[in-house]
Amino acid sequence: MSSEMQKFQTSEDDDEEMGMDVKEEDDEDDDDDDKNTANQVMVGVEGGFASTSSNNNRFQQHQQYQEQLTPQGSNRRCRPMEEKERTKLRERQRRAITAKILTGLRRHGNYNLRVRADINDVIAALAREAGWVVLPDGTTFPSRSQSTKPAAVTPTTVVTSSSSLMPPQQMSPASLGGMSSSYQSTGEYNACQLKDIFVPCSSPYDVTSNAPSQTSALLAEGLDVHDDSIIGGSMDAVNNRQVVIIPQRLQERDFAGTHYVPVYVMLPLGVISMKCELVDSDSLLNQLRFLKAINVDGVVVNAWWGIVEAHGPQVYNWSGYKRLFQVVRELKLKVQVVMCFHECGGNVGDDVIIPLPQWVAEIGLTNPDIFFTDRAGRRNQECLSWGIDKERVLRGRTAVEVYFDCMRSFRTEFDVFFEDGSISLIEIGLGPCGELRYPSNPVKHGWRYPGVGEFQCYDQYLLKSLRRAAETRGHSFWAQGPENSGSYNSQPKETGFFCDGGDYSGHYGRFFLSWYSQVLVDHGDRVISLAKMAFEGISIAAKLSGIYWWYKSSSHAAELTAGFYNPCNRDGYAPIMAMLKKHEAGLNFTCAGRGMLAQCGDFSGELGDPEGLNWQVLNAAWDALIPVSSENDLPCHDRDGYNHILEKAKPLNDPDGRHLTSFTYLRIGQLLMERQNFMEFERFVKRMHGEAVLDV
C-alpha cells in the first residue's frame, strides 16, 4: 500500500513539474484542481490509519473518489496532444525573444543579468536604473518617497524542515547544515539547496538600506502554508514542522556605467628609512605589480620632513624617494606625494616613528614655545605652532620659509617626474597628521574618545596674537583663553563654555572662537600660497579631518577646540573652502568610515553624526567647485565596507552627478595581498572605475 501511495505522490509531482515548465494561463485551473485533489488526499494520508484493513478500505475509497473526478464528471479536462504542442511552441518562442532582449541589454546596456534571467529580471533592472526599489517578491516603490513603501513586513525568509521541534535558543547557523552565505551581484538570487529546503539568497547591500525586504518562502515537502502569522516573521510549528527565520539581505547597487573615480593606494609609512633608503624593494616591487595588474591608478607616498632635512637646515637628502619614484614610473603608475611637516608616531595607524628634524628638536629644547601648548603648559611636539609662521626663530627663518624651501627643493630634485606626468598631485601638510586642524585631542596627553579636547593656544606667540586681537577690539581683558572649557575628556554639559547656552555663544566666546579659527585659516592661506609658487602648474590639495563627535550638540564642542568654528547657527567650513578656492586647491576629506562606526557603535550618548558632518563638508566644497578626494580611516577588507565607500564616492541621488575626484586606499600590506582580500579589492577598484563586475 505504501508503494502505491508513493507512486501516487510521484505522479502528482510530475504533473506539477509539467505545469512549471509550460507556463500557460489556460492551464492554471488544471493545476489548481490537481493541488486541491492532492490536498484532500494528503489530509487522509497525514491523518494516519488504524489497521491494514482500514488502510485498504481508505485506499479503495480514494480510488472511487478519483474515478468521480474523471472526464465523466467534467472536473478535470484532458488536453489534446495538439494543444500541448502549441503551448510548448509558444513557450519556446517567448523564451527566444526573452533571450535576445537579455543579450542586447548585457552587450549594449551593461546590465548585470544572470544567465537564466527572465522578463521579470529585465523589468526589475530597468526599474532600479530609474531609481525605484524592487524587492525580491516583486514589490516596487520609489526610493525617494518613503511614504509610498508597502506596509511593514518582517524582513525574513521562512524555511520549514520536517525535523522535530527544537527550542528557539538551540537554533543556529550550524543547525541549518552549513547553508552557503555567498551572494550574487545585483538582480541575481542564488538557489541554495539544503536537503528539501530551497532558499533564494540575495545580495548583501542595497542603496536603500532602510527599505524592508518582503518575505520569500519556498516550503519543503510540498507543504502549502497560508498562515499570515508565519509570513509576519513569528516562530511557530506548523504540522509538526519547524519554521526557521533567516534574515533577508538586500541587493547591491550596480555601479556599472558610473563615473570613473581613480583609486590610489597608500604605501607603507616606513617605505623610506631614516637614512633615506628604500626598504625591501623586491617585496614592494611585487606588490606594485599586483596593483598594476588590477588597474590601480597609482600610489601615494609620504615625503617626511624629518627624513629629508634631518641633520641640518637646508641640507636635503632625496635619494630613497628618487629610487622609489623610478620603480613606480617603470610600472606606469601615477604618484601622489604628501609633504609631511609633522612627526609620525602615536596616532591611529602609525607603525613607525619619524620625528621632526633633529635641528628643530634642538631649538625646541631652548624655546619650547615653537610647539603647540595647552592650558596646563604641556607641549605637543607633533608639529610647529602656527604662531611662528612669521617669527624668525628657526635659525633665521620663519616656519613658512622652512616649508617653502623644502617644497622648492623637492620640485627641483624631481623635475623630470613632474615633466612626464608621473607625479599627478601634491598634498600639503598643514598640521597634525598632515591635516588642517589644531592638535586638540592628543592621545599622549590623555585624550580619549569622545572627549571635547582642549584649546591649543597657550604658547607665547599665539598668546601675543590673541592679545593684539583683544586690544584691537578694545577689550584687553579678553586676551586669554577660556577658563571654563573643561579638560581633554570633558563632555559639553560638564563645562560652562560648551554647554547649551554656555559662554561660547556670548560676546567673549564669539570673539575668542573667531580669532582661534581665523588663525587656522590664515595658516592654511600662507602655506598653500607658497606651495602654489613652488609647484606651479601642478595640482595641490589640503587635508581636512572629520571631527564628528558632539556634532549634534549646539556648540559642536570637539570641532571648536580643533579650530572649526561650526556651532549649530554658523557654517564653520565656508571660510576654509573660500581659502582653498582662492588658490584653486583641492580638498582631501576624511570622515569616519564603516570601521570606525562599528567600533564606536551608537552615537546617541556623544551626539555624534558622521553622516551629517560628511554631508555638510562635501556640499560646502562642491558648492565652491572644489575637487574633493577621500581615503579610508581604518583598514577595510570586507564588501560592506567597500560598498559604504562607493556610496560616499558616487552619491546616488545627487542632482548634479557630483562625485569624488579620487580615492586613496590605506594601505598596501600583507593583509591586503591575501587572496580573498585582494579579490574583494579588485572588485572594488572595478566598481570605482564604473566597470561591470561579477561576484567573487
What is 72-100 written as a DSSP string? GGTSS----HHHHHHHHHHHHHHHHHHHH
Beta strand extents in 413-558 (DSSP E only): 423-428, 540-545
Q: Determine the distance from the C-alpha atom of residue 498 to the mean position of all C-alpha atoms in its chain, rounded to a whole number.
A: 32
Torsion over CA: 25, 30, 31, 35 (sign): positive
Which set of grid coordinates corresponds to residue 365?
629644547
Distance (Å) of CA 129 to CA 119, 143, 211, 257, 280: 15, 11, 17, 11, 47
Burial 456-494 (b: 16+ CB within 10 A, else e): bbbbbbbbebbeebbeeeeeeebbebbeebbbbbbbbee
DSSP category for residue 250 = P
Which residue's entry shows cell 580669532?
Answer: 515
Element (H or E) spanning 264, and its range?
strand 263-266
* 467: CB partners within 8 A, 6+ apart: 476, 479
> Does residue 514 contact residue 502 with C-beta atoms inside 8 Å?
no
3-state helix, strand, coil in the chain (%, to 5): 45, 15, 45
What is 120-140 written as a DSSP string? HHHHHHHHHHTTEEE-TTS-E
Torsion over CA: 400, 401, 402, 404 (sign): positive
Task: Quote the CA–CA distance of 488 and 502 in Å, as a whole number.
Answer: 18
DSSP category for residue 435 = B
Q: Which of 200, 232, 194, 192 is nearest to 216 (CA)?
A: 200
DSSP category for residue 650 = S
> Does residue 116 contact residue 188 with C-beta atoms inside 8 Å?
no
Residue 435 among the catalytic residues: yes
DSSP category for residue 169 = G
Alpha-carbon dihedral 40, 45, 48, 51, rounded to 10 degrees: 110
| Candidate list 382, 631, 680, 682, residue with the active-site label | 631
Task: Quote the CA–CA distance of 279 and 655 in Å, as a whole number.
Answer: 47
Residue 252 among the catalytic residues: no
> Does residue 512 contact residue 482 with C-beta atoms inside 8 Å?
yes
Distance (Å) of CA 205 to CA 209, 235, 275: 7, 26, 47
SS3 state of residue 286:
helix
> Does residue 531 contact residue 491 with C-beta atoms inside 8 Å?
no
> Does residue 621 contact residue 589 with C-beta atoms inside 8 Å?
yes
**β pairing state of 197-201 and 241-247:** unpaired
| Candidate list 252, 343, 382, 435, residue with the active-site label | 435
> Does residue 308 contact residue 276 with C-beta atoms inside 8 Å?
yes
The rounded radius of gyration (Å) of the Cα atoms in the chain is 34
Element (H or E) spanning 14, and its range?
helix 2-21
* 302: CB partners within 8 A, 6+ apart: 267, 269, 338, 340, 344
List, by residue number, the catalytic residues: 435, 631
